[in-house]
Structure 1
Amino acid sequence: MRMDDYQQAALRTAAPRDKHNEVFHLLLGLVGETGEIAEKAKKIVRDRGSDFTRWDTGDLTKELGDALWYLAVLADHFGLSLEDIAAQNIAKLADRQSRGVLGGSGDDR
């Protein structure tokens, strides 16, 4: 599935853009879903000796999908396509790699 196809499909289940506080709702949803992923990772560290091979990948797939839904709808709210976001991100990372600055910190490396 193309990313833009996914984005259009996700929008079929999204609230209207003009719904009161919708951007805030989407931001909180994205943070909440990524928090759920982090919480499950914490439990692997705590209970399973950091053995991430024991992660329930079916559950992880569902949580990543929820995060992707919020990301897709939030991006659309600002007129951004997932494919454009992905392409720009890969180009940025390739540029950093070619300059030997993948590590470190800061957006403008």
Structure 2
Amino acid sequence: MNEYQRAALRTAAPRDKSNEVFHLLLGLVGETGELAEKAKKIVRDKGGDFAQWDTEDLKKELGDILWYLTILADHFGLTLDEVATTNVAKLADRQARGVLGGSGDDR
């Protein structure tokens, strides 16, 4: 994941660019919204049959989301390996305690 992060950073704006964090957050939300919009159309037009999702298109949309997430993490000095490792550890802890379901960040 860190290799991807290094490659993605070569296409990013400088960290000190004005409003860059805001740009990255809006980009992440926008790309996630595009993915949700395509999912909505599968529900609306294809009876919710996600087997009909164009996986090449899905791959591109997920890649756009990954890019924004990657650059945003770097902006705050985080590597994708750190983010992924922390997330897996958090989920494993919740699973061990039987609280994967439910709500709240600190469960």
State the TM-score, normalized to the length of structure 2. Answer: 0.99
Partner of 1:106: 104
Distance (whole Å) between structure 2 residues aligned to residue 107 and residue 42 of structure 1:
27
**Within the alignment, does 1:59 sit opposite 2:57 as a pair?**
yes
**Within the alignment, does 1:22 sit opposite 2:13 as a pair?**
no
Distance (whole Å) between structure 1 residues aligned to residue 85 and residue 75 of structure 2:
19
Distance (whole Å) between structure 2 residues aligned to residue 88 and residue 77 of structure 1:
17
Map 1:1-109 to 2 at 5 A: 3-109=1-107
Query: Which ranges in structure 1 are unaligned for 5 or more consecutive residues?
Result: none
State the TM-score, normalized to the length of structure 1. Answer: 0.97
Code of the residue aligned with 1:41 in structure 2: it is: A
Cα deviation, residue 27, structure 1: 0.3
Distance (whole Å) between structure 1 residues aligned to residue 55 and residue 32 of structure 2:
15
Cα deviation, residue 64, structure 1: 0.2
Distance (whole Å) between structure 2 residues aligned to residue 90 and residue 13 of structure 1:
28
Distance (whole Å) between structure 1 residues aligned to residue 93 and residue 25 of structure 2:
29
Aligned identity (percent) is 79
Distance (whole Å) between structure 2 residues aligned to residue 35 and residue 64 of structure 1:
11
- What is the CA RMSD across the aligned residues, in angstroms? 0.3
Cα deviation, residue 51, structure 1: 0.2
Query: Which ranges in structure 2 are unaligned for 5 or more consecutive residues?
Result: none
